[in-house]
Amino acid sequence: MKNNSVTLRGNVGTDVTLKALSNDQKLLNFNLATNENYKDKSGAWQKNTEWHRIVVWGPQAEKLAGSIEKGNEVIVEGKIVSRTYQSKDGIEKNITEIHATDVIKTVREKASA
């Protein structure tokens, strides 16, 4: 069993972006929205949306760039990675990402009439 493993099912919330890095490595990223429904103290249903930054590397990044788009429902498997970087204005920032090892586009079945 892996200690750092995550599986998310949600909807692609932004257009995917594919970048070619200086070492010829490909990088794809997009934001994923996951929803949770729950009852509040008064018994009313509430919906909470969480946003996740998804990062895909290498040949899989190129493959996915042409097959997923904003609005698609996907299942993402990978690991949680936190890192620190310096913004353009020199401020140190922290970010948490999901480095995906697998992204599967789901097929929603249409309800029959």
CATH at residue 84: 2.40.50.140
pLDDT score of 1: 62
Kind plus residue range of the DSSP H or E element containing 19: strand 17-20
pLDDT tens for residues 28-68? Answer: 999 999 999 999 999 999 999 999 999 999 999 999 998 99
pLDDT tens for residues 8-17? Answer: 999 999 999 9
Q: How far apart are CA 41 and CA 77, in angstroms?
A: 33
Residue 111 domain-assigned (yes or no): no
- Total domains, the chain: 1
Residue 112 domain-assigned (yes or no): no
Domain membership of residue 90 as a residue range: 6-105
Q: Kindly report the pTM of this predicted structure.
A: 0.84
As a 3-state breakdown, the chain gives helix, strand, coil percent values, each rounded to 5, of 5, 60, 35
Question: Could you tell me which of 99, 11, 106 has the C-alpha nearest to residue 49?
Answer: 11
The confidence band for 107, taking pLDDT boundaries of 50, 70 and 90, is confident
User: H helices then E strands: how many in the chain?
Assistant: 1, 6
Residue 33 domain-assigned (yes or no): yes
The yes-or-no verdict on residue 108 having pLDDT over 70 is: no
Kind plus residue range of the DSSP H or E element containing 44: none
